[in-house]
Every structure is written in C-alpha cells, then in structure tokens.
Amino acid sequence: MGIFDFLSGEFIDVIHWVDDSRDTMVWRVEREGHAIKYGAKLTVREGQAAVFVHEGQLADVFTPGLYMLETNNMPILTTLQHWDHGFKSPFKSEIYFVNTTRFNDLKWGTKNPIIVRDPEFGPVRLRAYGTYSVKVSDPARFLTEIVGTDGEFTMDEISYQIRNIIVQEFSRTLARAQIPVLDMAANTRELGQLVAQEISATLSDYGLSMPELYIENISLPPAVEEVMDKRSSMGVIGNLNEYMQFQTAEALGRDGAGAAALQTGLGAGLGMQIAQQAAANAGPWGARAQLATAPAPVQIAPPPPPIEHVWHLAEGGKTTGPFSKAKLGRMASEGTLSRVTYVWTPGQDGWQKAEDVMELAQLFTVLPPPPPGA
C-alpha cells in the first residue's frame, strides 16, 4: 500500500449534524465548492433526515443510519452523475439536514375576536389561545415547498403562517360546531382535535404534520364577562329580600351601637307586649291604663307638592313666555295655542309640538260644552 493510499484511508470525510438550538428545522452542510469525497461517511441520527440536492435537483433522502457515499448505495445520485463503476473522484452536491423531531409548546391565538351565533346569548365575540406542536413528515416536500435554498431555516420563519392557518380553521370549526358558550369549556379537547384534523390536509402540502393542538382558553369580552358574573352572583344569592335582611342583621351585629339599639328595641317591644297583656287581664281599668301609657301616634309628613312646569312658546321665530299650564289651557280654548305650536320647558330635550308633550296633549282633548243658546 502506497503513502497516498494510506493518507486517503486516514483522512476519511465524515458528514454529520448536531444541533442544540431547539428551533432549527433545516441546516445545509457548508463545504467549499460543495465538494464531497467519494466514500465519505454520512451519519444521520434519530430525529434527522439528510436530503441530497445535485445541480438544483433533489437527488435522494437518507433516513437515520450510517452510510458510505459510494456508487453502490446511491443509485439515484449515481444515475444523475453518470458515474462509471469505481469512480472515486470527489463529487459536488448540497446536503441538507432536516430536523424531524417535534417542535413543542408553540403559541397560537386569535388576533381579533371571532363573532359566532350563540343559541342562548345571540351574537357574541370570542377570543381563544393555546399551544400546538409540529414536525416535518416529508423532508423532500418541505425542502422544495418551504425552505428552498435557505442554508439555515428556523421554526420562527414558518410559525406565523401556521398560526394564521390555525385561526382560520378554528373560526370555521367553531361556527359549524354551534356549541353554546357556556359549554365550550367542556368541549375544548374535541374542538382541538377537529381543528388539527382540518389543518392536517393543508400542512401535508408543506411536508408538515401537527401531532397535537390544545385550546387553553376561550373567553368573552370583559363587559360580557362582568354581566355574567353578576348573573352568577344573583343565582347564588337566591331570594333577594332574605339576603338583604341577613346583610342588615349581620351589619348590626358587627356594629356595637347597632347591637345595643337592636337589644333596646327588642326589650321595648317585649315590655309593650307584657303591658298589653296585663291591661287585658285587668279589665276596663287596665284598658284605660293602657291608653294612658300608650305612645303618641307618629305624625307622617305629607309628600311635597309636584313641581309645576312653566312653558315657553315659539311662534314666527320669536319666543314668548313663560306661561303656566293654566294659562296655556285658556290659550288653547281661545285658539291662540294650537296642537302644532312648539313649546319648551326646563329639562325638556329641545322644542316639541304641544300635541307631542303628554302634559299638554290633554288641553286639546278636553273641550268645554257648547254655550247656552248656541
């Protein structure tokens, strides 16, 4: 064996890829002139695939294993090169390592609310978010459809596109499912499986698959959630009158003065009952004593009289008034106030016709009887 044969055996070309970035999907082996030594060793580890591209054309895909790059185990590449048996010179090809493991804990979410028709609440706006995992199922298709000639392709470069596909299919699936909003929490697993199933056909065109998709939360707008919380609180409270009585008694129990007043009131009531019972047992003289000791009746003040409005009239671009309602009644009987006369009073929203104001409309419906001798 000559010295050159010894050196050619010692300097064996070894091609492999080890990655710790956890987000690299494709990495191209960088070699000067893309020259690969004939007989080189190619190591493809578990969770990887090696794709050979020769002169812009995809030549072969190697699954996990150890390969000697020779003509007898590269039939496709040998056909492209038109090698004769025993050809041992370097050949020029590009090698792309593809990561076929799962990329987990990827986030997705609805950028804008989704409007759906709920059978109980009617049209509602929903937001949702969750996680998903994706993996390369067809390295050759993924390389030709997505990566192209990119020497280092990461998950970030395609995650935005996948999120858009998820949101689109999630919106369609949610609208077709017609699940009530209150029951969605119990069906998130089934919804996730349906969405992943719908997305699989689209992702297969990219050479990808989606093993898992999770819906972590489906939420309503804050204003709607606040109303639902109030409704839930009312359901927990039950009878509102009993709840208010309980709250009042509890507040008096916490307040020392209130507790004393409560005890004083109970004592006074008990004393009154004892006095009334004793008077009834004593006969007429006891009744007189009861009247003498009875407290004076409580005087209840009458409510304040209603506020009388004063009115302004608008005629011919001029304003007259203010007039009382009695004055307007006389003007209506004299014919100087008609139904279409515009009137305004403090607190009223703009000028209105007299017939449109409930307080003045009755002036035109109650007419006096005809005069005697008419």
Range of weakest confidence among 54-63, 170-179, 297-306: 297-306
Pairing of strands 342-344, 91-92: unpaired
Whether 72 shows a pLDDT value over 60: the answer reads no
Q: Is the separation of the CB atoms in 220 and 181 below 8 Å?
A: yes
Nearest to 136 by CA among 190, 172, 96: 96
Express as a percent the part of the chain with pLDDT over 70.
Answer: 70
Express as a percent the part of the chain with pLDDT over 90.
Answer: 18
Half-sphere exposure of 134 (CA within 13 A, CB side): 31
Angle at 284 between CA 278 and CA 290, to 5 degrees: 50
Looking at every residue in the chain, the average pLDDT score rounds to 76
In this predicted model, what pLDDT tens digit does every residue of 321-356 receive, in sequence order? 788 878 877 888 777 788 888 888 887 778 888 888
Distance CA 286, CA 281 (A): 7
Whether 111 shows a pLDDT value over 50: the answer reads yes
Going by C-beta distance under 8 Å and a sequence separation of 6 or more, which residues neighbour residue 188? Answer: 214, 215, 216, 218
State the pTM of this model: 0.54
Domain ranges (residues) in the chain: 3-99, 103-225, 311-365
pLDDT at 139: 93
pLDDT at 79: 52
Mean pLDDT computed over 52-67: 85
pLDDT at 276: 66
Q: Which residues pair with 94 in a beta bridge?
A: 53
Residue 48: pLDDT band with limits 50, 70, 90: very high
Q: Which of 14-23, 51-60, 139-148, 279-288 has the highest mean pLDDT?
A: 139-148
Identical fold between 103-225 and 311-365: no
Which of the 8 DSSP states describes residue 29? -
- One of 3.40.50.880, 3.30.479.30, 3.20.20.80, 3.40.50.410 is the CATH number of 103-225, namely 3.30.479.30
Mean pLDDT computed over 273-296: 57
Class of CATH domain 311-365: alpha beta
pLDDT at 138: 94
